[in-house]
Structure 1
Amino acid sequence: MKIRLHLTYALVTALLIGSSLILVARARSEQRLVIVTYEGFSELQRLGSQALQIINYQAGVLAALCSDGQVAELRQAGFEVRIIDSTANLSLYYLAYPLPATDPQALSIALASFAYGKDAYIVKATSEQAHALSERGVDLFKLPDSIVVPSPQHRPAAVSAGLMYSPAVQSMVDAVSPTLLLHHVCKLQDRDSLTYCNELGTRYSYATEGLNEAAQYLYDQYASLGLSVSYHPFSYMGTVMTNVVAELPGVNPGSDHIYILGAHYDSTSRDSDTFETAPGADDNASGVAAVVEVARILSQYSFPHTLRFVNFAGEEQFLLGSSAYAKQARERGDLIEGMINLDMIAYETVPPNDHIVEIHAGQNPSSIALADVLIHSISEYGLSLAPQQIITDATWRSDHASFWSEGYPAILGMEDFDDLNPHYHSKRDTVAHLQPQMMVEYTKASVATLAHLASRPPQEQPPDVLEIEGYVRLNSWDGPGLSGATVRWETVVDSAVFGETSTDAKGYYSFEPIAFSSAPMLILVTASREGYDVEPPEGHWLWYRGDHELHQLDFLARMNVRTYLPIIAKHYP
């Protein structure tokens, strides 16, 4: 009887210990929304290699979902970490940019808002609250589940160092037609059933008839040029919208390298019934007209690299169209060398006629290199624009941001934001209030930039190399290292492709650089040692996308309950 009691006590003790470990594991697995402060692009890449679920980054700060263990690790490594939401819910987060004229109290209708970056906020809101915020003058971008931090070894898009004036490119630049550009703007702003170039059209994303009318017009324009054209549909809250995609295939070798010129074609208005009237001449019929005109000119030539001309729907609704397109491009493994986004390119105050335009490149060196090509083309071909390259305070409030989120080089070309069109998002955003020459010059710059980029010789693809390192910690994430643990990686498609190593006296492990002949690839990394339970128990899943990537994957080990049972029984005979 005594033995039974002791065994029962041992079993109950084991169950209690096991329950405690489960509760601890659950606590550690809970995700917190945090803001992490960092310095420089190299430090951003370091954070990107540590298996963090990063959902956005700005100059000097990033937003991520972290477990308590990851928060402790980041702080131990010297990073400033601020927990802004202890019960994270990815479906509710938006990046918000209130406009200067926005009511300061507008954000109060959201569930919560957190200061983040320059002039930006992270907003926690339901879809209904998000729409209400948009109506109050807040630009919103739906934050993704995770983003791809640009690879440190991504081939640079730069050709500006060797870019020289070309008479052939000059002839392409000279072919830009101001008449056709204005015609496209008129056709996009008007309602087809009324007189030509009327100001009563709408391309509001939920106004299906108006949006479809514009999509059909764009499809027909590209098809008439002999380009391969397709619709790229997506849906949001039961409404189907579509991007329009035209392609000029490259000539082998190099055809798998892709450059994209894009612009959103939807519109909105805050001072009218957007289902009826939202002409959107500057925002963004001007950018769309430029894309169509560039396609007309370049479609007459052949280039080594593929050119895509993409018009996005749903930009005014949290960048929905470009987010869907860029995500699928990444999933397909599209090798997008650069994306140029044109959004509002036809306005400036007169006077002073300073022709200032903004080129938003952000921190990715490959995006900066792409912006350099555009700026160099403006200079080389004597165009009447005064470009200002923006790196530190680059905005995420247009379609290029969707490509940043997928790790692609991308830039935004727009007019001077400090000289913002006063008719922005109103029924007065019409052809009558544009400065068409700004649009003409931007179109010429885009022709020259794409012609040079698409003509450059194909570069040899560097080998895909993956590096994995990390620690196995004992009892806590800041505890001592556990030596003698076995760490293993294997590909999910073929578990016969694997590697193993052991942790050293400090609990550190690393693998020799792993070279793959193809990517993307799903990889599982696990750690084990007899007598210990290791977190995460299922291991780390790693989606390897190619190029040179370094990932730090850490594990937490505790002596398992099964080890204690023989000891308990031995002391209670």
Structure 2
Amino acid sequence: MFEQKSHFLTSCKPALLLSTLFITTNTFAVEPDYQDQAKLHDIAAAVSPQRIEKDIQALVDFGTRHTLSETKSNTRGIGAARRWIKAEFEKISAECGGCLEVLEVKDTISGEKRIPSPVEVVNIIAIQRGSDEPNRMVMMSGDIDSRVSDVMDFTSDAPGANDNASGVAGVIESARVLSKYKFNGSIVYAALSGEEQGLFGGKILASYAQKQGWQVHGVLNNDMIGNVTGINGVTDNTTARIFSEGTRVIETKEQAHKRRFTGGEVDSASRNLARYIDTIADRYIPNLDTMLVYRLDRFGRGGHHRPFNDMGYAAVRVMETNENYNHQHQDLRTENGIVYGDTIDGVDFDYTAKLTSLNAVSLASMAWAPAPPKDVEISGAVQPSTTLKWQKNSDKTTVGYRIYWRYTSEPQWQFSRYVGDVSEATLKNVVIDNYYFGVVAVNKDGIESPVVFPGDVGAFEQDIN
């Protein structure tokens, strides 16, 4: 018999204590005594609303950041904005002894509906390399560019305060805070261009990551993280949404056929990345409840995480719960007493800081944690017990593994068992038909990787090169 523990705080239900009857075939492993990490609380508290406000104002002051706008001026247009962001990353790197690699990842785009003539789309990237696994990446992104009502209007003022100076400011602030720490894995801070014209910055960076052979284990795309009063009249600074796709768009016919019989429609790597962030919110971010939205993005819409999803990477969108469409993609004007336009007075800086803290703590936790296990397999059909197998990590960080399971209709993991430094474990009398299962890797402090659902559907690493 063992004491059942769930490290997913949203799902502890007394009615489910029957799970304590389950045992494993392993001898009892000494479990890392997980306590809330003081350093993660410190990271959450270190995010500054005042610095975020200053950064949003700086971006707004460029007048417009439209992808097709001015690039030579030092005071107006996307070129000036890019150079300012790059200078901010370089300043942060100088303060941490050169801990950031600051670079431009770019390409020339032309012949597109929204970019008919050749335009250089430039992303500004800062990489904080991990000490043990420098090629294992988690990423936070925001969009540089802004727009007004006419997506091709690149001369009118388009402040883009919430959409999406808030996201870029969050990325820069996360770099300031996290650069004071050292991690096992790497963290990428990305300011992406060309989102409003067709997600081109994300496509360029996703392709770059693939060519570089990065092991991308999570992309947190932040697109509008500063508005608290919605078009629906609701004012709420205590919730946020995490959008995540289900099965991968690159799923093969054979993988889809297998999934039909084994499940996993709600357990893609992106979905379990979203659950991970949701758990971080419950544990480390005061007065914030995240809503897991089982959809790629808002209904019929898209964002800069999608190009990473399109290539098979785990990627989600983090954003405000209540949008105000009068302040998105609008010319600056007042009509019938309604004020239109995305100006800085519509941004709640404390709320932006709260969502930035969520990102920073999630990135830190994943970068300190071991990599998600590979090659997770499951068996147990027409048997009383369920067995999981996986490939053990070869890093210096992993000390053991934990199995999670839940009822198939539950959104979060409910039950867990630490099984030690093994590559196989059996849950006796836990019938495979009744639950979904997954495996995490654990470090000496008890910090865990995201859950990996068995098979291709849940893998964080696939043959996507």
What is the TM-score normalised by the length of structure 1?
Answer: 0.49
How far residue 311 of structure 1 moved from its aligned partner, in angstroms, is 0.7
Separation of aligned partners in 1, 2:33 and 2:275: 12
Residues 224 and 320 in structure 2, CA contact (< 8 A), matched pair in contact too: yes
Match of 1:381 among 279, 284, 302: 284
Counterparts in 2 of 1:299 and 1:269: CA distance versus 1, 3 Å: same
Counterparts in 2 of 1:382 and 1:295: CA distance versus 1, 3 Å: closer
How far residue 263 of structure 1 moved from its aligned partner, in angstroms, is 0.8
- Residue 135 of structure 2 aligns to which amino acid in structure 1? D
**Secondary structure, aligned partner of 2:326:** coil
- Give the unaligned 5+ runs of structure 1: 1-160, 192-200, 464-544, 551-573
Q: Report the counterpart of residue 276 of structure 1 in structure 2.
A: 156
Equivalent residues in 2 for 1:117-156, closer than 5 Å: none
How far residue 437 of structure 1 moved from its aligned partner, in angstroms, is 2.1
Separation of aligned partners in 1, 2:35 and 2:294: 25
Separation of aligned partners in 2, 1:549 and 1:444: 32
User: 1:328 aligned to 2:208?
Assistant: yes
Q: Report the counterpart of residue 129 of structure 2 in structure 1.
A: 249
Separation of aligned partners in 1, 2:352 and 2:460: 38
Q: Report the counterpart of residue 303 of structure 1 in structure 2.
A: 183
How far residue 303 of structure 1 moved from its aligned partner, in angstroms, is 0.1
User: 1:231 aligned to 2:104?
Assistant: yes
Residues 339 and 411 in structure 1, CA contact (< 8 A), matched pair in contact too: yes
How far residue 338 of structure 1 moved from its aligned partner, in angstroms, is 0.6
Match of 1:353 among 235, 244, 247: 235
Separation of aligned partners in 2, 1:183 and 1:332: 34
CA RMSD of superposed structures (Å): 2.6
Q: Report the counterpart of residue 202 of structure 1 in structure 2.
A: 64
Match of 2:364 among 447, 451, 462: 451
Counterparts in 2 of 1:546 and 1:399: CA distance versus 1, 3 Å: closer
Counterparts in 2 of 1:409 and 1:458: CA distance versus 1, 3 Å: closer
How far residue 275 of structure 1 moved from its aligned partner, in angstroms, is 1.6
User: 1:442 aligned to 2:366?
Assistant: no
Counterparts in 2 of 1:459 and 1:388: CA distance versus 1, 3 Å: closer
**Secondary structure, aligned partner of 2:203:** helix
Counterparts in 2 of 1:460 and 1:380: CA distance versus 1, 3 Å: closer
How far residue 361 of structure 1 moved from its aligned partner, in angstroms, is 1.0
- Residue 147 of structure 2 aligns to which amino acid in structure 1? T
Counterparts in 2 of 1:546 and 1:258: CA distance versus 1, 3 Å: closer
Q: Report the counterpart of residue 87 of structure 2 in structure 1.
A: 220
How far residue 421 of structure 1 moved from its aligned partner, in angstroms, is 4.2
User: 1:416 aligned to 2:321?
Assistant: yes
Name which structure has the greater RCO, CA cutoff 8 Å, separation 6+. 2
- Count of aligned residue pairs for this structure pair: 298
How far residue 400 of structure 1 moved from its aligned partner, in angstroms, is 0.3
Equivalent residues in 2 for 1:40-51, closer than 5 Å: none
**Secondary structure, aligned partner of 1:165:** coil
**Secondary structure, aligned partner of 1:307:** strand
Separation of aligned partners in 1, 2:463 and 2:356: 37
Match of 1:262 among 141, 155, 172: 141
Separation of aligned partners in 1, 2:139 and 2:372: 18
- Residue 306 of structure 2 aligns to which amino acid in structure 1? A
Counterparts in 2 of 1:548 and 1:225: CA distance versus 1, 3 Å: closer
How far residue 415 of structure 1 moved from its aligned partner, in angstroms, is 1.3
Q: Deviations over 1:222-258 (max 9, x none)?
A: 1111121001121122111200010100002x22211
How far residue 349 of structure 1 moved from its aligned partner, in angstroms, is 1.4
How far residue 443 of structure 1 moved from its aligned partner, in angstroms, is 0.7
- Residue 435 of structure 1 aligns to which amino acid in structure 2? D
Residues 259 and 336 in structure 1, CA contact (< 8 A), matched pair in contact too: yes
- Residue 319 of structure 2 aligns to which amino acid in structure 1? M
Separation of aligned partners in 1, 2:36 and 2:124: 32
How far residue 397 of structure 1 moved from its aligned partner, in angstroms, is 0.6
How far residue 343 of structure 1 moved from its aligned partner, in angstroms, is 0.1
Counterparts in 2 of 1:405 and 1:271: CA distance versus 1, 3 Å: closer
Separation of aligned partners in 2, 1:163 and 1:339: 26
Separation of aligned partners in 2, 1:421 and 1:293: 26
Separation of aligned partners in 1, 2:51 and 2:287: 19
**Secondary structure, aligned partner of 1:255:** strand
Q: Report the counterpart of residue 189 of structure 1 in structure 2.
A: 60
